[in-house]
């Protein structure tokens, strides 16, 4: 009942335009069809240089997701139906009548409930229109409409079960044209972006070159650890191809400068793992654009993601080079104050991406700054800095330099454009004629943030007997400050209730039915080291009689910083630091 | 011209009720008259136990204040007049005609421009009504109306000059009744508060027993270092009398427990000095009361002050006891997490004040947590914890335990009422029927804050030719986060301009005339160690044609946290953490 209702809501909330945006802008004809089942794409940045992590193999990353009671019940129900129809899915045999062959273009036309929902899987074409309302995962199934299932099933391990294949087999309507299966993305060798890796079709692309994209909010809010494939991508330049065998990290500005291979980094320093949320300074910029046009990519609410990172502590590497609190003190306090990072990504003139952080963050025992070679337990993907990046927990994404080439301890901040003349906040009264970038500090720690990932803005909800709506979202704060409370309002901010915080992977991932039986959350992280976000959820009554409802959230961190109420007073010319209350307007239909 | 205008503004802004509140509630007849000129009061907590720092001797603490061009000009102008009238002030001689004798009650009736402004000084009575408009310090002179000058002159060292006495002598109208000079505050020995020290008459008293008071905003905003006499007082219990000779600090929960005398603390550990702002969790609570009644003292905007503190680093003392990062690591992370502080102040049942902070704050090289025995270069005053208090920079006042008796390293937070069931923040939707104090963390670091100290709410400003108004205030953030910008609006928040930040004592203390010649500010403190507030100032044009103007300020810290727009959405049942934009409504009169 609840599940059905959620599916219908979703239909209304996801426009055809949104479905269209869910595919990579550069490849209108998806080429995912041959990717599953262990085969490897040779397109994109993978393969040739040993960067296996660039391959879009969509490994299962979310074991247990959607394994709640509701999902089991729904699959169980359907399984009975499948058994009665006695058509378990298997490769088409010569005994069965031949099914028609469809082109990818034909499949792509079936991208909505209105046009029918077709998907492809391992060369087969399936019309799953009738299944959508029964899908235990609700609306997310429509993200695959008109395209391949493989990249989505890879995100949700619950699909790796025989009975799921059984269900799918019922809906088979044809075969995909073998030429389309083999088709690869067109590559122009002269294009500096031709080496960029393949990306997940669910990503919403804000800029193709350089590649900047964010996941759909509903997917983002689904998992405490964001799968690497849909982790937001924020590239300033083409993705560089780095040979891991010859790669060296240079570490300078030290008593003993270092040149470290990947093997050195992995063998000479303890491996340290941190779960940390990264957020782009421009997350939620689109809300500032709605007040007055700003300069920058038009990010929605999903330029933020959470992952587990592993690598050497920068602190350990700097100490290996002879630096440390003692050396810093000996320098009399007037010496080194910053650590600069230079990436291997460069523009046509050879200018590389660069940034810096305060030295005390790098040296602190509690700073947890990583030279990371793994993301979510695997080699860094190409888009996230393979083979090495810096991860500065609690600090704006822009300082977490990818494809890291050089680390330099220095007296001055990085001289790069992105440190000096970008990624800074200004007063709403400051415009491009009056701005003095020297007057504001480079953004490092970010302020408290939260947003609603469900329901979507503009969604149509149906009022049922209990009149409740489930609201979900994320909340995070910079500087290791833990989120301690999220307030949610269903009347535009007049009255508030407190959401339940989901502290980690195992906490509260189930459906509403589990509600009260949830075990207590894990112990909080040490003070000042809460690097990861919290997902949150509240089931709130819809205001009686109202047809237009404004749902609002605001978070509080453990320094009791609050989000500002409105966007206009924090508007700034670069559209950064957009952390006002998040507001979602929905329409309520009576049953 | 500007000075005269400011004086008139002030007259309108300060009501008789406010003037009345400027005196200690317990002593309607001020007893300051005999305090100046080196004589010492034997009442209160001073004298008997050697706590010389408790004496209200109002030492000059603000050298150079008001020494700007404007002040010099005004005094110079008046000096000429004094010379012409040839009546330098000196003790009344038998040669002069006897002046009438006035009672203190009679003097007290002259507390406003309407009733005439009388003050007393060294036994003389002066009618300074005609001088008010010429006073270079502007409106502050009215704080002394009807009472003694001594405590105010002690705050402003500029008065310690012969020509100031010359000016005063012109206005002598009589002598103060010797009985009133000798009168002391009534003391009931059975009153547990009978040992409380004398306080400065300018303080606005929110509660007499225990004593809780704040300075007038105009005085607060005058000086980067708040003079100890008017530093806000926040006592939970009677002020204990502590014999410094027998005093011992107990330090427990360590491999080697310690018992330290004051001499030990001063000789065995390096003296460390920190300038740090303290703020009560309830600062600006009155604004929450205006939304809906909360529980707590009705603080205005001045339950915050800035001082220089000196003492031993708690970190050094804990290490002397055998604790440190190594011992903490050896404890496996599951051991000690907090440092508890117990005061010597107690209620009738013997329950003492107590609080705790996270252990990592205490141990951090960058935490700067002090066991302080000095405030502003002198022994701690009785109201501020004589002989020893803890100063936890960047942390809410409530954890800065005064009259410190015991320090305990422990696995658990302090069990005290104030740690467990008070000083926590809740959602606006939480009331006393539903509150669960275990659900919220004890306040430690405070969020970003700012307020306008000039003009006062309700003030009447006169529009002059250039149509500008000077707005001043303070801004601070917890956790060592530096304030990087203050935005000021003169139209209720629609448009904003950036205020000039005054980084320290020497920066911008002069009058407007010095404006452009101000030297560059000192280098910023190390990241994460900006413990002191910033004062700020902006000269902004009054909106043309408007008679009612809402002036608003909001600050931004270096994590780019902003203040929330409005009070209602952060309202909470204890009225803590009140840091919405500060709004001052003024009336503009056309010239």
pLDDT tens for B557-580 read: 999 999 999 999 999 999 999 999
pLDDT at B517 over 70: no
In a mutagenesis test of the B interface, which of A336, A569, A574, A576 is the best target, namely the one with the most B β-carbons within 10 Å? A569
Contact A569 B325 (CB under 8 A): no
pLDDT value for A586: 96
pLDDT value for A188: 52
pLDDT at A342 over 60: yes
A195-219: average pLDDT? 95
Question: Is pLDDT larger for residue A80 or for residue A269?
Answer: A269
B326-353: average pLDDT? 81
How many other β-carbons are positioned within 10 Å of the β-carbon of residue B373? Answer: 24
Q: Taking all residues of chain B, what is their mean pLDDT, rounded to a whole number?
A: 82
- What pLDDT band is residue B179 in, cutting at 50, 70 and 90? confident
A92-119: average pLDDT? 84
pLDDT value for A404: 98
pLDDT value for A158: 79
- What is the rounded CA–CA span in Å between residue B341 and residue B280? 17
Pairs across A and B, CB distance < 8 A: 132
Q: Lowest-pLDDT range, A48-62, A89-103, A146-160, A488-502?
A: A48-62
pLDDT value for B191: 82
Tell me which residue has tokens 């005063």. B168
SS3 A105: helix
- What pLDDT band is residue B277 in, cutting at 50, 70 and 90? very high
- What pLDDT band is residue B60 in, cutting at 50, 70 and 90? very low
Beta bridge pairs of residue A204:
A214
pLDDT at A91 over 60: no
Q: What is the pLDDT of residues A298-314, one digit of tens each?
A: 999 999 999 999 999 99
pLDDT value for A153: 84
Contact B577 A565 (CB under 8 A): no
The share of chain B scoring above pLDDT 70, in percent, equals 77
- What is the rounded CA–CA span in Å between residue A113 and residue A129? 6
pLDDT value for B50: 35
pLDDT value for A46: 33
Contact B497 A365 (CB under 8 A): no
Give how far Cα B220 sits from Cα of A194, B211, B224, B227, B557, Å. Answer: 63, 19, 8, 9, 21
pLDDT value for A137: 79
Helices B162-169, B69-85: axis angle to 10 degrees equals 50
The dihedral sign for the CA sequence A145, A148, A154, A159: positive
Question: Is pLDDT larger for residue B536 or for residue A329?
Answer: B536
SS3 A463: strand
pLDDT at B431 over 50: yes
B343-364: average pLDDT? 94
Q: Determine the distance from the C-alpha atom of residue A389 to the mean position of all C-alpha atoms in its chain, rounded to a whole number.
A: 17
CA of B561: which chain A residue's CA is closest? A447
Tell me which residue has tokens 């809010």. A221
Kind plus residue range of the DSSP H or E element containing B482: none
The dihedral sign for the CA sequence B254, B258, B264, B265: positive
Chain A contact for B554 (CB, 8 A cutoff): yes
Chain A contact for B291 (CB, 8 A cutoff): no
In a mutagenesis test of the A interface, which of B292, B423, B427 is the best target, namely the one with the most A β-carbons within 10 Å? B427
pLDDT value for B192: 87
CA distance to partner chain A, nearest, from residue B369 (Å): 16
pLDDT value for B155: 76
Q: Taking all residues of chain A, what is their mean pLDDT, rounded to a whole number?
A: 82
B48-54: average pLDDT? 37
pTM (predicted TM-score)? 0.79
Sequence-ordered list of residues with C-beta below 8 angstroms from that of A100, at least 6 positions apart, any chain: A173, A174, A175
Residue B172, by phi and psi: left (phi above 0), alpha (psi -120 to 50) or beta? beta
Kind plus residue range of the DSSP H or E element containing A166: helix A162-169
pLDDT value for B7: 33
Residues of A in contact with B361 (CB under 8 A): 527
A215-242: average pLDDT? 96
Q: Lowest-pLDDT range, A140-144, A532-536, A549-553?
A: A140-144
pLDDT at B48 over 90: no
- Select the residue of B428, B429, B446 nearest A560 (Cβ to Cβ): B446
CA of B563: which chain A residue's CA is closest? A564
Chain B contact for A52 (CB, 8 A cutoff): no
CA of B325: which chain A residue's CA is closest? A365
A280-297: average pLDDT? 96
Q: What is the dihedral of CA B60, B66, B67, B72, to 10 degrees?
A: -120
Question: Is pLDDT larger for residue B183 or for residue B5?
Answer: B183
Residue B458, by phi and psi: left (phi above 0), alpha (psi -120 to 50) or beta? left
**B117: its two tokens:** 């402004």
Residue B185: half-sphere exposure toward Cβ, Cα within 13 Å: 26
How many other β-carbons are positioned within 10 Å of the β-carbon of residue B314? Answer: 27
The residues of B that are catalytic are 135, 159, 234, 280, 423
pLDDT value for A136: 82
Q: What is the pLDDT of residues A344-393, one digit of tens each?
A: 999 888 999 999 999 999 998 899 999 999 999 999 999 999 999 999 99
pLDDT value for A524: 64
Residues of A in contact with B555 (CB under 8 A): none
A17-36: average pLDDT? 34
- What pLDDT band is residue A32 in, cutting at 50, 70 and 90? very low
Q: Lowest-pLDDT range, A241-255, B183-197, B435-449?
A: B183-197
pLDDT value for B463: 79
In a mutagenesis test of the A interface, which of B559, B565, B570, B575 is the best target, namely the one with the most A β-carbons within 10 Å? B559
Contact B559 A496 (CB under 8 A): no
CB-CB contact of A337 with A288 (8 Å)? no
ipTM for the whole complex = 0.78
**A7: its two tokens:** 């599916």
The residues of A that are catalytic are 135, 159, 234, 280, 423
How many other β-carbons are positioned within 10 Å of the β-carbon of residue A400? Answer: 25
Residue A151: half-sphere exposure toward Cβ, Cα within 13 Å: 27
B window 470-509, beta carbon within 8 A of A? 478-479, 481, 484-485, 487, 493, 495-498
CB-CB contact of A376 with A61 (8 Å)? yes
A window 428-467, beta carbon within 8 A of B? 428-430, 440-441, 443-448
Q: What is the pLDDT of residues B123-149, one digit of tens each?
A: 899 999 999 988 887 878 888 999 989
pLDDT at B81 over 50: no
Beta bridge pairs of residue A589:
A462
pLDDT value for A83: 38
Q: What is the pLDDT of residues A317-337, one digit of tens each?
A: 999 999 866 666 655 445 888
B295-308: average pLDDT? 96
The share of chain B scoring above pLDDT 90, in percent, equals 62
């Amino acid at each position: 009942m609840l599940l059905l209702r959620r599916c219908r809501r979703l239909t209304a909330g996801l426009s055809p335009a949104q479905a269209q945006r869910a595919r990579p802008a550069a490849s209108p004809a998806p080429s995912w069809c041959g990717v599953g089942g262990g085969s490897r794409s040779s397109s994109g940045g993978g393969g040739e240089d040993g960067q296996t992590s660039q391959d879009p193999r969509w490994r299962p990353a979310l074991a247990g997701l959607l394994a709640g009671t509701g999902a089991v019940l729904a699959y169980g129900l359907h399984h009975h139906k499948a058994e009665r129809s006695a058509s378990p899915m298997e490769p088409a045999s010569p005994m069965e009548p031949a099914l028609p062959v469809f082109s990818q273009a034909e499949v792509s036309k079936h991208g909505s409930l209105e046009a029918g929902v077709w998907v492809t899987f391992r060369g087969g074409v399936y019309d799953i229109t009738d299944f959508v309302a029964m899908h235990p995962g609700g609306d997310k199934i429509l993200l695959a409409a008109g395209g391949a299932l493989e990249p989505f099933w890879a995100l949700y391990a619950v699909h790796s079960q025989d009975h799921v294949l059984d269900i799918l087999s019922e809906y088979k309507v044809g075969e995909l044209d073998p030429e389309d299966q083999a088709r690869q993305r067109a590559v122009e060798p002269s294009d500096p972006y031709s080496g960029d890796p393949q990306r997940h079709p669910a990503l919403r692309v804000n800029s193709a070159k350089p590649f900047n994209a964010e996941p759909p909010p509903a997917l983002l809010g689904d998992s405490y650890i964001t799968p690497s494939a849909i982790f937001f991508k924020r590239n300033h330049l083409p993705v560089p191809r780095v040979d891991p065998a010859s790669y060296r990290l240079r570490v300078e500005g030290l008593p003993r400068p270092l040149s470290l291979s990947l093997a050195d980094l992995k063998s000479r320093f303890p491996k340290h793992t941190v779960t940390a949320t990264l957020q782009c300074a421009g997350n939620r910029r689109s809300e500032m654009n709605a007040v007055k046009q700003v300069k920058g990519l038009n990010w929605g609410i999903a330029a933020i993601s959470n992952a587990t990172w592993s690598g050497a502590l920068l602190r350990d590497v700097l100490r290996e080079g002879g630096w440390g609190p003692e050396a810093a003190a000996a320098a009399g306090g007037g010496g080194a104050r910053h650590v600069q990072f230079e990436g291997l990504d460069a523009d046509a003139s050879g200018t590389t991406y660069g940034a810096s952080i305060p030295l005390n963050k790098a040296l602190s025992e509690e700073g947890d700054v990583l030279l990371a070679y793994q993301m979510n337990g695997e080699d860094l993907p190409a888009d996230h800095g393979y083979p090495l990046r810096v991860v500065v927990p609690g600090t704006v994404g822009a300082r977490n330099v990818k494809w890291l080439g050089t680390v330099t301890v220095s007296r001055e901040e990085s001289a790069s454009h992105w440190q000096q003349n970008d990624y800074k906040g200004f007063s709403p009264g400051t415009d491009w004629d009056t701005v003095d970038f020297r007057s504001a500090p480079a953004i490092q720690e970010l302020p408290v943030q939260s947003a609603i990932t469900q329901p979507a803005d503009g969604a149509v909800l149906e009022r049922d007997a209990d009149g409740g709506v489930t609201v979900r979202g994320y909340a995070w704060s910079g500087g290791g400050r833990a989120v301690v409370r999220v307030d949610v309002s269903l009347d535009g901010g007049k009255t508030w209730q407190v959401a339940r915080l989901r502290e980690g992977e195992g906490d509260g991932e189930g459906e509403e039915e589990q509600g009260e039986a949830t075990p207590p959350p894990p112990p909080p992280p040490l003070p000042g080291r809460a690097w990861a976000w919290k997902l949150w959820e509240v089931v709130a009554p819809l205001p009686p009689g109202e047809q237009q409802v404004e749902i609002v959230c605001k978070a509080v961190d453990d320094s009791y910083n609050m989000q500002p109420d409105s966007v206009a007073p924090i508007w700034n010319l670069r559209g950064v630091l957009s952390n006002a209350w998040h507001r979602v307007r929905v329409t309520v239909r009576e049953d």
